[in-house]
């Protein structure tokens, strides 16, 4: 069996294991992962170096790109404990490419390091772009947050034209589910996570800004009923309210990356409530890594007289940002950064984590530094693995 196929089979088994992961909550509470049973034959190549040669994370100066939020799971293989990370792609600072990650076995070419509570850990990276079929193993739950206020009328025509074609192509390349929230000063419409075909039926009911007005799906009545809790009856937009609406009420798969794409031409208004401020996302105590990454497509000049910059939703969660003209005529949804972020996703396998399976919070640090020093990033994730222990 070739190395390529051993890697693909190993990834497939990793995703099967992840499907049995248990989440306590996806709101403000801690999310806990439970240990999985042993796999007798993972098919993965053992490239973990001896423990005594694992290097420390490098010292990162002047960070110039962001690390996206991760999903994670615990894996038990032949008595050894591994932490499996699922992460969408990392865009290079110049915006012209996507980083291929190289783990511990890469030697002088290594460009990603990990530590847990300052203890360095060996890691192996599988880049989806390296294998023709690997990208299909990464599950993605994609939620469109669409500003459907009157100021979006010109942009909405382009979105309406391109959105479904784009979603259809994503479904052909990746394991996808789609959902949508239409917002103004209120939550004006939504459909829970579903297939491309069901999303298509929903969006084809109307055109322009009206395509995301109204509730659909098997739980449409429930969504319509709770929408008022996230509505302020003012004609000023709050993508943060739409984000919370989706996070609190949609049926996300536990083993999928949660990805949001916010289309808007206005700032975020928080109505003097901290939960609806973009700054809420800056703390993992509020928005855990498992709750997802927000990407922004913004059509305006980026200058506000009031309100908050909506692209900070992406900055704080490791998402991408695209600025377009007011007619959206200078972009294609096929080429927006979130498309490449999914196509260039990673599965990262961190070895020897048994000592951290105690149900307590630990700090996982990922550091990225290319040999040329042109890409530099670092992020600390708060993670909990094992059975939860109340102290």
389 in a structural domain: no
Q: Are residues 131 and 280 in the same domain?
A: no
Q: Are residues 197 and 299 in the same domain?
A: yes
390 in a structural domain: no
Q: Are residues 96 and 169 in the same domain?
A: no
DSSP 311: T
Q: How confident is the model at residue 48 (pLDDT cuts 50, 70, 90)?
A: low
pLDDT digits (tens, 9 = 90+) for 322-345: 888 877 777 777 778 888 888 899
pLDDT digits (tens, 9 = 90+) for 50-96: 546 799 999 999 999 999 999 998 888 888 889 999 999 998 987 77
Q: Are residues 324 and 351 in the same domain?
A: no
- Count CB atoms within 10 A of the CB of residue 288: 21
Backbone angles phi, psi at 62, to 5 degrees: 60, 65
Q: Are residues 249 and 298 in the same domain?
A: yes
Q: Are residues 8 and 26 in the same domain?
A: yes
- Cα dihedral 300, 301, 307, 313 in deg (nearest 10): 70
User: Domain range holding 111?
Assistant: 3-135+345-384
Q: How confident is the model at residue 37 (pLDDT cuts 50, 70, 90)?
A: very low
pLDDT digits (tens, 9 = 90+) for 151-190: 887 777 777 767 888 888 888 878 899 999 999 989 999 9
Q: What is the mean pLDDT of residues 230-241?
A: 85
The pLDDT value recorded for residue 301 is 55
Q: Are residues 251 and 292 in the same domain?
A: yes
Q: Are residues 125 and 149 in the same domain?
A: no
Q: What is the mean pLDDT of residues 355-371?
A: 95
Q: Which residues of 39-62 are buried (b: 16+ CB within 10 A; e: fewer)?
A: beebbbeebbeeeeebeebeebee
109 in a structural domain: yes
Both tokens of residue 187?
């939550």
Share of the chain above pLDDT 70, in %: 82
391 in a structural domain: no
Contacts for 107 with CB less than 8 Å, ≥ 6 apart? none
Q: Domain total for the chain?
A: 2
CA distance 38 to 81: 9
Alpha helices in the chain (DSSP H): 3-18, 153-173, 196-203, 220-226, 239-249, 312-317, 337-343
CA distance 68 to 286: 16
Q: Are residues 73 and 176 in the same domain?
A: no
The pLDDT value recorded for residue 34 is 34
CA distance 48 to 29: 34
Mean pLDDT lowest for which of 148-157, 212-221, 357-366? 148-157
Q: Are residues 53 and 18 in the same domain?
A: yes
Read off the CATH number of the domain in which 200 is found. 3.40.50.410
Q: Are residues 83 and 198 in the same domain?
A: no
């Amino acid at each position: 069996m070739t190395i390529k196929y051993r890697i693909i089979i190993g990834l497939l088994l990793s995703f099967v294991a992840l499907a049995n992961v248990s989440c306590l909550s996806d709101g403000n509470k801690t999310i806990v992962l439970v240990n999985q049973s042993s796999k007798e034959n993972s098919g993965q190549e053992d490239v973990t170096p001896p423990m005594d040669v694992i290097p420390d994370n490098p010292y990162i100066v002047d960070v110039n790109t962001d690390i996206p939020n991760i999903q994670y799971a615990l894996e038990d293989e032949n008595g050894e404990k591994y932490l499996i990370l699922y992460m969408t792609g990392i865009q290079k600072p110049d915006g012209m490419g996507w980083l291929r990650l190289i783990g511990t076995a890469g030697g002088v070419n290594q460009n990603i390091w990990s530590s847990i509570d300052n203890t360095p850990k060996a890691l192996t990276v599988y880049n989806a772009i390296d294998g023709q079929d690997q990208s299909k193993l990464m599950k993605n739950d994609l939620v469109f947050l669409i500003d459907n206020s009157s100021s979006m009328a010109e942009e909405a025509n382009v979105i309406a034209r391109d959105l479904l074609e784009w979603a259809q192509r994503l479904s052909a390349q990746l394991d996808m589910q789609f959902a949508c929230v239409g917002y103004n000063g209120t939550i004006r419409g939504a459909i829970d996570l579903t297939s491309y075909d069901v999303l298509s039926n929903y969006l084809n009911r109307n055109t322009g800004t009206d395509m995301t007005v109204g509730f659909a799906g098997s739980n449409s009545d429930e969504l319509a009923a709770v929408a008022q809790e996230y509505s302020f009856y003012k004609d000023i937009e709050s993508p943060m309210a739409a984000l919370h609406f989706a996070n609190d009420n949609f049926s996300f798969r536990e083993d999928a990356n949660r990805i949001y794409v916010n289309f808007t031409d206005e700032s975020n208004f928080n109505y003097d409530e901290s939960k609806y401020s973009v700054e809420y996302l800056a703390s993992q105590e509020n928005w855990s890594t498992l709750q997802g990454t927000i990407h922004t497509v913004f059509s305006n000049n980026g200058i506000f007289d009031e309100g908050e910059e909506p692209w900070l939703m992406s900055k704080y969660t490791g998402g991408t940002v695209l600025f377009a003209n007011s007619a959206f005529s200078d972009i294609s949804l096929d080429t927006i950064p979130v498309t490449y972020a999914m196509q260039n996703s990673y599965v990262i396998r961190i070895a020897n984590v048994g000592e951290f399976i105690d149900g307590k919070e630990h700090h996982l640090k990922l550091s990225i530094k290319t040999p040329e020093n042109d890409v530099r990033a670092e992020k600390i994730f708060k993670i909990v693995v094992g059975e939860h222990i109340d102290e």
